[in-house]
Chains A and B, each alone.
Chain A
Amino acid sequence: MEFLSQTLLQTTTQLFVSTNTITSDSIMNPDVRRQYVSSGDNSDLTTTTIRVTFDSTQTVDRIAIMETNAKQFNLFYNGVTANAFTLTSPTTTSQFTNNSATNLYLACTPVDVTSVTFDIKTTMTANSEKAVGYFYVGANELTFAKIPNSGGYTPIIDPKELIHNLSDGGTRRQTVQAKWSVKVKLKYITETFKDSLLEIYNEFTPKVFVPFGTGTAWDGILFEANWMGNFDFYKYADDATNAGFTGSIDLKET
Chain B
Amino acid sequence: MSGLNSLVGQIKNPRSKVYRRLYIKRREPGTGQYEDAWVELTDDVVKWGTIKKSVDSNKINQFKFSNITLTMDNSSGKYNDYNDENSLWFNYSDQQRTLVKIEAGFLYETKTNGIWSVTEYPSENIVYNGFISGDINIKGNNEIAIPVVPLTECFRQFSARRLTGWNSSLTASDFVEMLRDQQDGDGDYIFRPFFGDTSTGFDIQSTTVQYTNLNTSTAQDIIEATVWNVLEKLAEAENYVPYATREGTFRFVPRTLDTATVYHFIGVGGFSSYYGHTIKNVSWFGKRFNKYYSRVTVKWVDADTASSYEVAESDFRVRSDSSPWTLGERTISIENFWIPTATVAENIADSLFLEFSAIRREIEFSTSFIPHLDIFDRVLITYDPTLPTQNGVWDVYNWEDSTTAAQHDDAMIWDSSPGDGLKLNSEEFRLISIDMNLDTLECKFIGRE
Chain A residues near B (Cβ < 8 Å): 33-35, 37, 67-69, 102, 123-125, 128-129, 131, 133, 162, 164-176
Contacts and interface: CB of A to CB of B under 8 A. Distances in A.
A134 B369 CA distance: 30
Given A69-B114, A125-B114, A172-B368, A167 B17 contact: no
Contacts of A67: 114, 116
A171 B368 CA distance: 10
B302 interface: no
Nearest to A35: B116
A164 B18 CA distance: 13
B17 A175 contact: yes
Contacts of A162: 18, 369, 440-442
Contact of B279 (A33, A68, A125, A167): A167
Contacts of A68: 114
A173 B113 CA distance: 28
A180 B19 CA distance: 19
Given A162-B441, A167-B268, A167-B383, A35 B18 contact: no
Contacts of A69: 113-115
B419 interface: no
Interface in B208-258: none
B280 A165 contact: yes
Contact of A174 (B111, B267, B369): B369
6 contacts: A33-B116, A33-B118, A69-B114, A69-B115, A125-B114, A166-B278
B235 to A, nearest CB: 37
B115 A167 contact: no
Contact of B115 (A131, A169, A172, A175): A131
Given A69-B115, A162-B18, A168 B267 contact: yes
6 smallest CB-CB distances across A and B, nearest first, come from A69-B114, A164-B368, A125-B113, A167-B268, A168-B268, A167-B267
Contact of B118 (A34, A102, A174, A175): A34
Given A172-B14, A176-B19, A167 B368 contact: no
Contacts of B113: 69, 123-125, 128
Nearest to B110: A33
B8 to A, nearest CB: 14
Interface residues of B, number: 32
B277 A170 contact: yes
B319 interface: no
Interface of B: 13-20, 109, 111, 113-116, 118, 267-269, 277-282, 367-369, 383, 385, 440-442
A175 B16 CA distance: 6
Contacts of A33: 109, 111, 116, 118
B18 A175 contact: yes
Contacts of B369: 162, 164, 174
Given A162-B18, A168-B267, A174-B17, A102 B368 contact: no
Contacts of A125: 113-114
A152 B40 CA distance: 39
Contact of A167 (B13, B16, B116, B280): B280
Given A162-B18, A172-B14, A175-B18, A128 B115 contact: yes
Contacts of B442: 162, 164
Given A69-B113, A124-B114, A166-B279, A171 B14 contact: yes
B348 to A, nearest CB: 40
B151 to A, nearest CB: 27
Nearest to A125: B113
Contacts of A123: 113-114
A22 B269 CA distance: 49
Contact of A176 (B20, B116, B281): B20
Contacts of B16: 172-175
Contacts of B368: 164, 166, 172, 174
Contacts of A34: 116, 118
Nearest to A71: B114
A131 B115 CA distance: 6
A113 to B, nearest CB: 28
A172 to B, nearest CB: 5
Contacts of B20: 176
A68 B19 CA distance: 24
A167 B278 CA distance: 8
Contacts of A176: 17-20
A222 to B, nearest CB: 18
B15 A175 contact: yes
Contacts of A128: 113-115
Given A166-B368, A173-B15, 10 more contacts: A35-B115, A125-B114, A128-B113, A129-B115, A133-B116, A164-B368, A166-B278, A168-B267, A174-B15, A174-B16
A131 B114 contact: yes
A68 B440 CA distance: 34
A35 B109 CA distance: 12
A219 to B, nearest CB: 18
A163 B123 CA distance: 24
A166 B280 contact: yes
A66 to B, nearest CB: 12
B114 A167 contact: no
B112 to A, nearest CB: 9
Contacts of B15: 172-175
B2 to A, nearest CB: 15
A69 to B, nearest CB: 3
A177 B16 CA distance: 11
